[in-house]
Structure 1
C-alpha cells in the first residue's frame, strides 16, 4: 500500500511537470498580442496627422506607421513592456511643419519619459501643455525654429534630467520655475535669443553636469558662489553680454573640465589662490573679452589644459611672462593673439611642445630664427599682422599643416616652391603682403588639394597661377593681374567664391561660368576694364553677392538674375548698362543692397502692374541715370527693413565668415553729407539709405517716404520734383543726411525738420522755397550754402531778413509762449496782498474770464 501511494505521487508529479512544460512551450511559440494600447496608438496617429509631413527624413521615420498595426513597432517609438504605454518618442530629423498646438494629441501620451523632436520645423511657441508630460526625463527640441518665451510649466517636469533646446529663437529670461528641476543634469539652450541675467535659481540645481547658454543675449554678472554647482563638468556661456569679474569659485569646482567664457564683456579675473585639489580643467576659453592687466600666473597650475584661449587680453602694453605656458605640457590648442603687449613672442618657446596642433599668435610681434625646429605637429598656424618680413622656413618640416594665415605682414618676393610639398595644406592666406609671384613652374601647386587661397592685396603680376581644381574660395583682388580672365578658372570643380576686384583684367566675362550654375555664391569683379554684355548663362542661380561695378559693361542687365532666389547684394555701378528699371528683381525676397548708380538706365521706376516691394532692402542707389516719371504717394509701402529698427542678418551670411580669412569684401560708394564715401565690411549693417539723385524724376515727393523711419541717408537732389517738402520727413528720426537740392520744390521748409536731432547735414539749395527758415537747432547750424538760390527764403543763416508778417506767422507759437511768460512774470511782481486778493477772487468765481481779471488788476 505504501509503495502504491508512492508510485501514484511520482506519476502525478511527472504529469504536472509535463503539463507546465507544455504550457510554457505553447505560450512561447504562440504569436503575442499587440503591446500598444489603443489610446496610445490613436494619440500617435492623430499627432502625425497634425503636420503636413514632407521630405525624405519624414518618410523614413513614419513609413512603418500603420493605423492597424502595433504602434510599439513603429520607428521612433519605444513602449513600456509592462504597461504598453509609449515611453519614448524620437522623431529627430523629421520634417514636422507647423506649430505644436497647445491641445496637440502629443500631450495625451501622459507616460512619455523621453521626447526628441529635434531638427524639425516646429515653428511657433512652445505651449504650456508641455508641462503636462510630468514623467518626462529627457526633452530634446533643438533646431526646431521655436520662438517666444519659455513656458513656466517646464518647472512641472520634476523628473527631467536632460533639457536640450539649442538653436531656436526663444526670447526673454529663463523661467524662475526652472529651479524646480532638481534632477536636471544637462541644460542646453545655446544659439537662441535669451536675455536677462544668469538665473540664481540655477545654483539650486546641484545635479547639473552641463550648462550651455552660448550665443544668446544674456547680461549682468555671474554669481560669486558658482562652486555650489559641485558636479559641473561643462560650462559654456560664450558669445553673450556678461560683464564684471570672472568669479574665482568657478575654478574651485573639482569636476569642471570644460570652461568657455569667450566673447563677452568680462573685465577682470580674480586671482586664484591655492587650488585645494588638482584641477581637471582641460578647456579654458577667456578670449574676446575686456580682460586687462597681467596674465595671471595661476594658469600655469592648470596642468591638464589641452586648449587655452586668452586672445584679446589687454596687458596695457605691459610685459608677458610667456614661461607660464611651459608648464602646460598637454596643450594641443593655444590662442594668445592680440595681447597688446610690448613683449616679443619668441617661437622657440613652443619648440618643445609635443602635442601642440593649433597655434594662433596673430597681432603680436613674433620672432623666429632660421634654424627653428618645431617638435609638435602643427596643423593650424595663424601669424597675421606679426611684423614678419620673411617667409617662416620652419614650416618646411610641418607635414601636418593644413591651415596657414600669414596675412598683413611685410613679406616680399615669391612664395617658396617647397610650401606646396606639405601634404596636408588646404587653406592658405597670403593677403596684404608684398608678394610678387610664385616660385617654381606655372602649375607649381595645380595638383594640390587646396580649398581656400587668398592672395589679395599683394603685388602679384602675370602669369595668373594655374589653380588646383579643388579650390572653392579664391580671392586675388588688389593685385596687378591684367589681360583676359583665364578660362582655366572654369576648369575648377566646385568654385563657390571668386573675387578678382581691383586688377587690370579686360575683355569679356567668361561664358563658361555657367559651369558653376549651382555652386558659385560670390562673384566680385569690381574695378577692372571688363567690357561687353553680361552673359545670361554666366549667372549662377546660387549667387548671394554679385559685384561688377566700375567696369565698361554694356547692354541689359541679365534677367537670369531673377533665378537667384538667395541674392542679397547686387552692385553694377559705374558701367554702361542701357536698360529699363529691373522690375523683375522684386521676386528676390532677400535682396538687401541694390546699386545701379552711374549707368544709362532709363524710364520709370514705377510699374502700374504692381509696386516694387523690397522688404529687405537696406541700400537703394539708382543715382546718375536717366530714370524719369513721377512716383505715386504710396511708393515706399512695404519697404519694411527701412521701417524697422531691427537688423536680423540671414544665416546664409555665415558662409562668408570662413575660418579666419579676410574673405571677400563688399564695397559701394555712398553719397553722404555732400561727400562720396566708400562703404566696407560691417558699415553695410549700419547704413540704410536711398539715393535717387541725378535723374529726371517729376511730380511730388511721395508722402510714404515718412514710413522709412530707420533711414540714415536720403538724397533726392538733381531731379525735377515739385510741390512742397512732405512734413512726414520728420518721422525719419535717425536721418543724418538730407539732400533735396536742385529740384523745383516750393512752399515752406517744414519746421518739424528742426526736431530731427541726428540730422547733421541738409541741403535745400536751388529750389523755389519761400518763407522763414525754421529756427530748429539742427537747421540753424547749417552753412548758408544749404539754402542758396531760393528767392523766397529768409532768415538765418541767410543774410536776408524776413518781413514782420512772415515772422509773425512762423513764430505764432513762440509769441504765445512769450505772452504767457510775461503774464507769469507780471504776477510775480504785483504786491503780494493785492495780487493774492485778486487770485483768490478769481479762484472763487468761474463765471468770469481770468485773463481779463489779471489785466484789469494790472491796469
Structure 2
C-alpha cells in the first residue's frame, strides 16, 4: 500500500509540474498582443522622453503572455480578459484594424495616459464583452463612435481629458447620436467624460441609467438645465457637472425616498437667481460645490446649508452676493473640514471658533483687513489661503507653529517685514505681491512650491546643500536679488522656474539639464552673461523659454546640428547680443508651433493635489508693437517667437512657414538680409508680424494678404522695393509700417509707384497725339473746301465775259 501511495503521489506531483510548466496563454492571443505592441512607437529609456517605463517593455515572444505586465487571462480558457496599459508610453494612433480587436474576450481595457492622438475607431464596438473601458487622457479627438452604444455589458466608461466633441441638439425633439449612445448603456455604473469638448443638452430621461453610481462630465460645454431625473437614480452617489454652461432653474424634483447622493459638484456654470432651498433635501451630502453661482447681487440664505449635517466639503466661492456673511454661521457643521468662501464679504468675530476638523480654509478676496485670530486654534489646519485681501503688517509668529500646516497662500496683501521663521515642514508657500524685504531664508530649500514674486527681497539666492530633489515650482521674479543662480537650488523635479526682473548675473546653471520635468523657464531682465543654452533641447517638456533682456551672446544655431524644441510654445530671446545666421531648416523640429499638440496635463504648471493653487506666473512679451504681460491660461494657447533686438544676419529661414500655429513673430532690429520668405503666407493663425529695422530687400509677398487674422505688421526701415500689395489686411496698416523703404511705393504711402507715373505720361502723350490728329483732320476739312473755292473763283474770273464787279460778286456767293 505504501508503494502504491508513493507512486500516486509521484504521479500527481509530476502531473502538477507539467501543468505548471505549460503556458496558459493561447498562441493567437500572444500574437495579437505582440502585434498590438508593435503598432506604437515606444521611446527608449535613453531618448530623454521616457519618464515611466512602459508595461510592454518586458513582453517577450518566448514567455507566457498571461504573466506579462498589464495582462490577465481567464485561468480556464487562456484568453486575455484584462489589458491594463496605463502609462505605457504608447505613441501613435489606434487603428481601425488594430490587432487589439482580435482580443474578442476582453472584459477590461485601460489605455489611459498614453499618446494615442487620433480618433477612437468604430471597431471598439467589436469588443462586445467589455465591462470597463478607459481612454482617459489619451489625446483622442473627434466624435465618440456610436458603436460604443452596443457594449451592453459596459459598467464603467472613462473618456475624460481628451478632445472629443459632440453635436448640439438642433431640434429639442431629436436626440443626437451621442445622447442615444449614452442612454443605451443602461448597465453603466460609472461614466467619466470630463474635460472634453462635448456640448448640447443632456436628455431629460436620465433615470433610465438606473444603475448609475458615478457620473462626471465636468469641463465641457453642456448647456440647458440639469435634468431633475438624475436625482431620481437611487444608486447615484457621485455627480460632477461643474465647469459647463448649464443654466436655467435648478430643480431636484420630488425625492420619494432619501437620496444616496454624497458628492454634488455643479459650480462654475451659468446659474442665476437664488440658490434653491431644495438642496437642503440632500441630507446625505458630504461634498457640495455651488461656486460662481450668480445670485445677481441678492441675499443668500446660508441657513439652507445648516441642514446638511454630513458636509465635509463646502465650496461657495464667488456667489456674487451683497450679503455680509458672519463666518460663525458655519460653526454648526461639526464635520466640515474643507471650506471655500472666496469672493464673499466676511465678518469674522474675534471670539470665533470653527469646528476643530477644518483642514482646508480658502478665504481669498473676502475683504479681510486683519489676520484672522481664530486660526491660532485650528490645530488640524493643513491648507490656508487668505490671498487677495487687505491685511497689513507682519505675519503672526504663531502661524508657523500650527502643527499640521503645510500649504499657505497669503499673496496679494500688504504684508511686510522679513521671513525668518519659515518652517521646514512646509510643502507650499505663496506670498507674491506683498511688501516683504530682506534676504530669502535658507529654509526655502525644503519647499516643493515657493512663490515670492513681486516683493522687495534682496541679497543672493541661498545655496541648498541638502537638496531633496522635490521642488517643482520656484518663482522669485520682480525682486532685487543679485549674484548668480546657484546650481544647488535646482532640483530634479523642477517644473517651473521664474527669476525674471532681478539683478542676477553669471551664467545659466547647467544643472537645469537634470530638470527633465521643466516646462517654464523665465530669466528675463537680468544681467546673465552666457552663450545660447543649446543643452536645453534635452528637456522633453520645455514649453516656455524666455531669455529676454540679458547679456547672452554668440550664435543660436550650430552647424550641422538641428535645434529641436518639440513642446516649445513661447520662445523669447529678444534684446540680447546673439549673432550669426540661421539655417533654412532651423524651425523643423518645433512641433508644438507647427500643429495642434495636446497639452500634457500631468505636467501642467500647478502641482497641486486636488486643491486650486494660485501663484504668480507671467512673462512680458511684445505683441503688435507694444509690451504685454501674459498670465494664466494664455501660456497654453499663446505661441510666439521673438528674436528681436539682436545681431542675427543672413536670410530668414524658409522653415518659418511650417509654424502654422504661430500667433506672434517678431524678428525686428537685427541684420537679416535677402527677401521676405513667401512661406510666411502659411502662418494662417498669425496676428502680429514685425520685420522692421533689418536689411531685407525685394518686394513684400502679395501672398501675405491671405492671412485674415494678421492685424498688425511692420516692414519699416528695410530696403524693400516695389508696390505694396493691395490686399485689405495690408492696406489697413498705418503708413509708418512701411516707412524708410526708399523703393516701396503705393498706398498707404504717399509715393506713387513708377508704373502709375508711366501710365499717366502715356495717357498725356495719347491725348496730345489725339489733339494733333484732330488738328490735322480739321485742317484737312478746311483745306478741301478752300481749294475747291479757290479753283471756282479762278474759273469764274477767267471764263465769263462780264463786268468785273459782277464776276467778283458771283465768286463771293459761290464761296
Give the TM interval when normalised to the shorter protein: 0.7 to 0.9
In the alignment, is residue 469 of structure 1 matched against residue 421 of structure 2? no
Q: Out of 264, 270, 276, which is 1:290 matched to? A: 270
Partner of 1:378: 358
Q: Does 1:309 align with 2:289?
A: yes
- Provide the C-alpha distance between the structure 1 equivalents of 2:353 and 2:562, rounded to a whole number of angstroms: 67
Alignment check: 8 A CA contact 2:109 2:133 kept? yes
Paired residues for 1:758-797 under 5 Å: 758-797=709-748
Q: Distance in 2 between matches of 1:266 and 1:187?
A: 23
1:495 counterpart (443, 447, 454): 447
| Selected match of 2:499 from 548, 557, 580 | 548
Note closer, same or farther for the CA distance 1:782–1:335 as it changes in structure 2 (3 Å cut).
same
Describe the superposition over 1:348-390 as per-residue Cα deviations: whole angstroms up to 9, x where unpaired.
3322222222221111222233333334632222111111223
Does 2:652 match 1:708?
A: no
Unpaired stretches in structure 2, ≥5 consecutive residues: 46-50, 168-177, 761-815
In structure 2, relative to structure 1, the CA distance for the partners of 1:158 and 1:760 (3 Å cut) is: closer
- Superposed, 1:89-238 pairs within 5 Å as 109=79, 112-118=80-86, 120-121=88-89, 123=91, 125=94, 129-143=99-113, 146=116, 148-196=118-166, 198-238=178-218
Corresponding residue for residue 688 of structure 1: 639
CA contact (8 A) 2:692 2:716 kept: yes
Q: Which moved more, 1:769-778 or 1:280-289?
A: 769-778
* Matching of residues 268-417 of structure 1 within 5 Å: 268-375=248-355, 377-417=357-397
Distance 1:189 1:323 in 2: 38
2: CA distance between counterparts of 1:603 and 1:621?
Answer: 16
2:801 corresponds to which residue? none
Could you list the runs of 5+ residues in structure 1 that have no partner in the other structure?
1-17, 87-108, 436-459, 810-859
Quote how far apart the aligned CAs of 1:23 are: 8.7
Could you give the per-residue CA deviations for residues 598-654 of structure 1, whole angstroms, max 9, x where no partner exists? 233333323213232223222222222222333333333222222224452452225
Tell me, in whole angstroms, the C-alpha distance in 1 between the residues paired with 2:549 and 2:243.
42
TM-score (norm 1): 0.76
1:165 & 1:137 partners in 2: Cα distance?
Answer: 15
- Report SS of the residue matched to 2:303: helix
Which residue, 499, 510, 513 being the options, matches 2:464? 513
Q: CA deviation at 1:230?
A: 1.9
- Over aligned residue pairs, what C-alpha RMSD do you find? 3.9
More contact order relative to length (CA 8 Å, sep ≥ 6):
2
State the match for 1:831 in structure 2.
Answer: none
TM-score, normalised to structure 2, is 0.80
Distance 2:180 2:730 in 1: 51
CA distance in structure 1 between the aligned counterparts of 2:601 and 2:466, rounded to whole angstroms: 26
Q: Distance in 2 between matches of 1:654 and 1:222?
A: 33
CA deviation after TM superposition for structure 1 residue 121, in Å? 4.7
Shift of 1:769: 2.5
Mapping for residues 702-741 of structure 1, pairs under 5 Å: 702-741=653-692
Matched residue of 1:723: which SS?
Answer: coil
> Distance in 2 between the 1:59 and 1:704 partners?
34
Name the SS for the 2:464 alignment partner: helix
Q: Name 1:644's counterpart in structure 2.
A: 595
* CA distance in structure 2 between the partners assigned to 1:756 and 1:173 by the alignment: 29
Q: Is 1:176–1:199's contact at 8 Å kept on the other side of the alignment?
A: no
3-state SS in 1 of match to 2:339: strand
Q: CA deviation at 1:286?
A: 0.7
Distance in 2 (alpha carbons) for counterparts of 1:316 and 1:623: 46
Q: Against the structure 1 CA distance between its residues 313 and 413, is the aligned structure 2 distance closer, same or farther, given a 3 Å change threshold? A: same
| Shift in Å, 1:663 | 4.6
**Aligned in 2, Cα 1:471/1:709: closer, same or farther, shift over 3 Å?**
same
Measure, in 1, the Cα distance between the counterparts of 2:608 and 2:393. 29
Is the 2:668–2:690 contact (alpha carbons within 8 Å) kept by the matching residues of 1? Answer: yes
Q: Look up the SS of the partner of 2:748 in the other structure.
A: coil
CA distance in 1, matches of 2:395, 2:573: 43
Aligned length: 734
1-structure distance, mates of 2:320, 2:438: 43
Change (3 A) 1:564 1:142: closer
Q: Give, in angstroms, the shift of residue 281 of structure 1.
A: 1.8
**2-side partners of 1:206 and 1:246: how far apart?**
19
Query: 3-state DSSP class of the match of 1:577?
Result: coil
Contact kept? 2:412, 2:434, Cα under 8 Å: no
Match of 1:749 in 2: 700
